[in-house]
Structure 1
Amino acid sequence: MKYENDKGFTMVEILAALTILGIIFISFMTIFPQMSNLNSKTEAKLETISLAKKELLVWKENPLPLNRNDDLENIKEDFVTKPGHIVYEYSHKEEPIFTYRVTCKKKSDLPTTQKGEVELYRIHIAVFKGEREISETFGYMEKTVD
């Protein structure tokens, strides 16, 4: 008996198509966990960049805010590690997971002798989680010459 309708797929063709689709599907599925991991790292990085910039604004508005701030703990000053700079290290009581390291240059990058002019002092703020640096930012503090 001979069939006249030979237009269908054979079992081998169906298995080959399923195998190819399975390989493609598995390769796409390995991308999703990597994307999720990358997104969480990026989110943490953005959060710490925001914290560093916020801390820079505090330092710009009020040079040496460490003296009058009850919100800080574990404050350390270091004049020896980096010559020509003062290094402050501290953490906030409500954010104990992050440590801030603020490096201030002792001499102005824009020295002046004119009364009423502004001197600029370079500042570097780094945010640490444990021993690992997560984020950093740079800026300048102003001081008016008396």
Structure 2
Amino acid sequence: MNTTKEKGFTLVEILAALTILGIVFVSFMTIFSQMNVFNTRTESKLETIHLAKKELNFWKENPMPLENNEGVLVLKKDTESSSDFIFYTYTRQDEPKYEYRVKYRVPSDLKSFTETSVTLHRLQISIYEKGKEISETFGYVEDGAL
């Protein structure tokens, strides 16, 4: 009695394994390309958040930041301004060229604790690209800063 024990895989088993591995590989490749797009968007968002915070610091440190128009390409005080808010829209000369919109709240929205305490006014800075808001930040400036 001669029995041979064959070891190995059949052609059908190998093709089935390759098909399953191909499906798994394609799904992983799709995930990696989506992660790349997400990372690019996140990087752009972080860059504009940094620019908005940098612009907020610029407004806080300069009492009348737009009187000296160096570095400002287009500056206008919007017609939307009222007794409660002043709106500024401008573009800086340096790259990247974003449109900055600043909303300055004239009456303070914070209650003073004492008569000698500083009055703060809310400042909202939004960054626009091609008419679409891509980032914004909020902060407060002292009374008389603008």
TM-score of Structure 1 vs Structure 2, range by shorter chain: 0.7 to 0.9
Residue range with higher mean Cα deviation, 75-84 or 65-74? 75-84
Q: Report what 2:11 is aligned to.
A: 11
Give the Å deviation of 1:64: 2.9
3-state SS, counterpart of residue 102 of structure 2 = strand
Go from structure 1 to structure 2 and tell me whether the alpha carbon gap of 1:37 and 1:96 turns closer, same or farther (over 3 Å shift): closer
3-state SS, counterpart of residue 108 of structure 2 = coil
Paired AA for residue 106 in structure 2: K
Q: Report what 2:80 is aligned to.
A: 80
Question: How far apart are the structure 1 equivalents of 2:111 and 2:68?
Answer: 27
Quick check: 1:105 aligned with 2:105?
yes
Q: Report what 1:52 is aligned to.
A: 52
Paired AA for residue 26 in structure 1: V
Quick check: 1:120 aligned with 2:114?
no
Give the Å deviation of 1:75: 0.3
The answer as to whether partners of 1:89 and 1:99 remain within 8 angstroms in 2 is yes
Identity of aligned residues (%): 52
The answer as to whether partners of 2:83 and 2:106 remain within 8 angstroms in 1 is no
Deviations 1:104-140 (A, max 9, x none): 01112236694x5311000000011110111000000
Question: How far apart are the structure 1 equivalents of 2:68 and 2:122?
Answer: 22
The answer as to whether partners of 2:98 and 2:127 remain within 8 angstroms in 1 is yes
The answer as to whether partners of 1:63 and 1:141 remain within 8 angstroms in 2 is no
Q: Report what 1:130 is aligned to.
A: 130
Question: How far apart are the structure 1 equivalents of 2:46 and 2:58?
Answer: 19
